[in-house]
Structure 1
């Protein structure tokens, strides 16, 4: 099945990779990375006592040999900017809360949950106000969903620009989200006839607002107050955010403070001059809420180097805002031929799905690609196909197939193929 693969070659390849990883870790351990504490490393850990219980004051830290962090795109100001998830170092599908991507328009507010409330008004029978305690007393749900910024991959429309998968695709993350279904609150308030849209408003300095269709809200929207088993992080909207599974990230308002029901959309800045898709004929697509099916290979990916020919496991992530991932195919020859990858369960609705495919690299140049098909039958397009329809005047909603070139010396680079 895998030409040239033997136990000896597999172990040799693993030793090469492992040795490089150990050397890199040793080099990093001169100072503690974020989230870790620097401790002396004994020659033999079986002959000395380890660190005492609660030595980190009751909140755990990661190993000093792990250094993955988010990377901030170099915008002019750090208050209106974004940071990107290190997808290449992820395992499984869950993104650690501290590595979940960020997008802010006026910095991260500091909000006391005891003083925070959510107002629900407009075309409802009874306007309501909820404190955080009120919300937490209501029936809760916990669900796994991805969030993706519609600007994810925005640098890659016309030419390959950023070197790593963190730079090209790092504006997507998956978490377990816990909160109350927004439909529960609307049922309590009572929607009036003709109610069709809801304005969601945040408590940040940008007072971020977006119009959301009532149909989506009644389907699967969540008012989330927890992420991955603990309260939301401040950068993720503490103490309350709107979660709209499968919709573009900008709509999933953080630091949520107000919901106003109307019969028409509100035409805010973020859905008129921003977050619309300018087409080649000068018209703009508006309300392009759903994030279409997308996938990317995270290993091997840009800025890596394969140490030698032999066996590797190609792996990556696939997702769709329209439902579940149905199939992922992988090509090692720039799309000339495709082989179906294995999907690692669970395969969940509007959630990242991990795919895997064994591959024997023969030492010659290869171009790696992945292509996802979702349960609606939608197939991830090539960049050429997408540009033919959309042009290159918009920066949003780029979900084209990504290509990684593996050179003869093992170096992996971002290319258009």
Structure 2
């Protein structure tokens, strides 16, 4: 945030920052009286009581217990949007509705999916994980074997390398945030550190890579550097406290924190230690891009810092003047989010947003900042900074560096234009 803007905040009784009505989040949080019932037009207690008395549901017995909870009937519109191949329905994607969610944890049933040949129905009693190749002792584990090992839990995101790829188009796509950036989700994952079972197998000195293979009909396989496998990867058995769901890799998946989603192999059945990568389809024909220099970009594993304002955004409409809370998500595969800045004037000035705790490495981070809108045309933007010093780039900067042949790892700043009528659209600046 520019120094003069901070000074303006400290000296102003309105706590307003230059740049489209953004408010300093620290002073704002100390002034709870700003958010009064009058501000939001809340009902008086008498009116509210009368409304409740008229509602029949307050006098009727409720529904009985259920064996497994489900969303309220009034929230059933919060769903994943699916795009499948008509000729091969098991091949396609579904997006997490980020624009409908709060906090940082994605419900298991709304976690994005990418399937190549459908979801297999795997009996955990029959499933096996084979570790072989450049090891001293090839090992085979049943699921019950793996469940006996000491486990760890960690909150982290998984993001498809192709997430947000519509940003490479020459014209900005007009769709809700989750259906543009929603091939990214964040969960609590619990399982056994991959390093534990690899060390039990005994790694031979020539081993530099692991070839991971899934148990689905597409026989997904992909190469993972051994150093990463020994660092922070998990054999994941649980998601958000319960056993993995079938579409999320039941009964066993690989978790590779902070790296592109294709490496997080679901229905994991084989780990082959090798001296070289396997050069599978998803690291040659896919996930390899031509750069402006004429060289190809390959093995671009790490997901770079990224942020997006989820509210307000496309699909919302501002229906009044006054105070709003700008909210969004930021994440980076390089570690923790250090800060998020928000602009309400198209990037001319920036204000630092409040980061909601906990702020964890390789995990979604929720940011918030208050904003006063008086009906003017504005452009909202956010940019993320991570603890490794990387900064989310402007779109023009990303294209200059990566060229026009991009498809994967799009992490440019997203801009939302708001008209005097409160209508919101996605724009390029």
Say whether the fold is shared (TM-score over 0.5). Answer: yes
Q: 1:307 to 1:12 in 2, by over 3 A?
A: farther
Shift of 1:47: 2.1
Report the number of matched residues: 390
Is 1:394 the equivalent of 2:406? Answer: yes
Q: Which string of whole-angstrom CA distances, capped at 9 and with x for unpartnered residues, describes residues 263-318 of structure 1?
A: 11111111011111221243211100000000000000111101111100000000
Instruction: Decide which moves more: 166-175 or 7-16.
Output: 7-16
Closer/same/farther in 2, CA of residues 216 and 166 from structure 1, 3 Å limit? same
Please name the residue that 1:71 is paired with: 81
- Offset of residue 394 of structure 1: 1.8
Secondary structure in structure 2 of the residue aligned to 1:188: helix
Question: In the alignment, what sits opposite 2:203?
Answer: 191
SS in 2 for 1:217: helix
* TM-score between both structures, scaled by the size of structure 1: 0.90
TM-score between the two structures when normalised by the length of structure 2? 0.88
Structure 2 unaligned spans of 5+: 1-13, 24-31, 44-53
Query: In the superposition, relative to structure 1, how do residues 405 and 74 fare at CA in structure 2: closer, same or farther (>3 Å)?
Result: farther
Greater shift in the superposed pair: 276-285 or 175-184: 276-285
Whether 1:416 aligns to 2:428 is yes
- 2:91 maps to what in 1? 80
Correspondence list, 1:225-304, <5 A: 225-304=237-316
Match of 1:105 in 2: 116
Look up the SS of the partner of 2:158 in the other structure.
strand
Q: Of residues 122, 127, 131 in structure 1, which corresponds to 2:138?
A: 127
* One of 37, 53, 68 as aligned partner of 1:59: 68
* Contact 2:156/2:364, CA 8 A, preserved across alignment: yes
Secondary structure of 2:308's counterpart equals: strand
SS at match of 1:65: helix
- The equivalent residue for 2:150 is 139
Aligned to 1:380: 392
Q: Unpaired segments of 5 or more residues in structure 1?
A: 18-41
SS in 1 for 2:392: coil
Displacement of 1:15 in angstroms is 4.2
Contact 1:164 1:414 in 2 (8 A): no
Per the TM alignment, residue 73 of structure 1 is displaced from its structure 2 partner at its CA by 3.0
Conserved 8 A contact 2:84-2:91: no
RMSD of the TM alignment (CA)? 1.9
Partner Cα distance (1:290, 1:8) in 2: 42
Q: CA deviation at 1:89?
A: 1.3
Question: Cα deviation per residue 1:112-144 (whole Å; 9 max; x = unaligned)?
Answer: 111101000000000000000000000100100
Aligned counterparts of 2:129 and 2:270: Cα–Cα separation in 1: 5
